[in-house]
Amino acid sequence: MGARHLPATRCSPDRTTMAPVVMTNGEPDMRRTFHEQLGDLKLDVIRLGGMTVELISGATFFPHVPAQGAIDLQTILSSPAAGGSSIRTMYYLSISSAQHKLYIANAYFIPDESGVDILVSARKRGVDVKLMLSGIHNDMKLARYGGIHLYGKLLEAGIEIYEYNRTMLHQKTMVVDGAWITIGTTNFDNRSFALHEESNVCIYDTRLAERLEQIFFEDLEACVRIDLESWKRRGMLTKLRGAAALFLKDQL
């Protein structure tokens, strides 16, 4: 049976128009329809999360955009539907690449074992590692106790931990070696890395990195530094809450 055309609705950015759908053997043939109506638009078939899906590509949908400005910038999206966390990879590679200094500010900090290990490894190779985390003002108390429970190994390695107590800290930033920065929605925990839809902007620019470092150190003035001895003296209730939080850390 030959191909024939039936009217169908196709949406464009500014209006709704009527476009013919190609029928092959009595069934809609969307590939031929797209080819005839939109020229170089392409459909790429991939496997995603156990499903076969089609991704739209081609210059019609994604035209070339000339570079603007002089700053190298990349937006990274992370979704559980993709079966992995590109933002986790970005964080861990950035930390592993640090050579001199690493300043992280994050609202919810419950790293997994790998996250703890790469932070400790950075400190062992001489990187100045400072963490600014939520303090007494926190809308997720259980997450806070889980983070506190993990301080020990970090403090023993010489990592500096500060709790911001002026108000609730909610920024998620990282500055690496005064050159590379990331700002976004991602918390340093499994829920953000694996379960949530997150987005971070990564920028390679020494001027912006210097400014973000300046803000980081200004905020340190409103922080309390946590030392190893005071962490060891935390109360039994805090220890129990922390242990319970880590038991549930994949859901926090």
Are the C-beta atoms of 23 and 3 separated by less than 8 Å? Answer: yes
Query: If DSSP states are collapsed to H, E and C, what string results for 198-228?
Result: EEEEEEECHHHHHHHHHHHHHHHCCEEEECH
Q: Give yes or no for a contact between 78 and 197, defined as CB atoms under 8 angstroms apart.
A: yes
Every domain of the chain and the residues it spans: 22-62, 72-251
Best-predicted range by mean pLDDT among 45-49, 77-81, 227-231, 233-237?
227-231
* Strand duo 109-110 + 101-106: pairing: unpaired
Helix axes 86-97, 113-124, angle to 10 degrees: 20
Query: Which residues, in sequence order, are CB contacts of 67 under 8 Å at separation 6+?
Result: none
pLDDT for the residue 16: 36
Note the pLDDT tens digit of each residue in 77-127. 887 776 667 888 899 999 999 999 999 999 989 888 899 999 999 999 999
Whether the predicted model's global pTM rises above the 0.85 cut: no
CA-based nearest residue to 57, from 47, 75, 74, 45: 45
Residue 251 burial (CB count, 10 A): 10
CB-based contacts of 225, cutoff 8 Å, min separation 6: 160, 161, 162
72-251, what's its fold? Endonuclease; Chain A (3.30.870)
Q: Is the pLDDT higher at 230 or at 35?
A: 230
User: And the tokens for 205?
Assistant: 């620019």
pLDDT class of 234 with cuts at 50, 70, 90: confident
| 9-21 per-position pLDDT tens digit | 333 333 333 444 4
d(CA 195, CA 190): 7
pLDDT for the residue numbered 9: 35
Q: Which amino acid is located at 5 in the chain?
A: H
| Residues 6 or more apart in contact with residue 15 via CB below 8 angstroms | none
What type of residue sits at position 68?
Q
Retrieve residue 77's tokens.
Answer: 């999206």
Q: For 179-217, what is each residue's pLDDT tens digit?
A: 999 999 998 888 788 777 889 999 999 999 999 999 999
Which pLDDT score, from 0 to 100, does residue 18 have?
Answer: 40
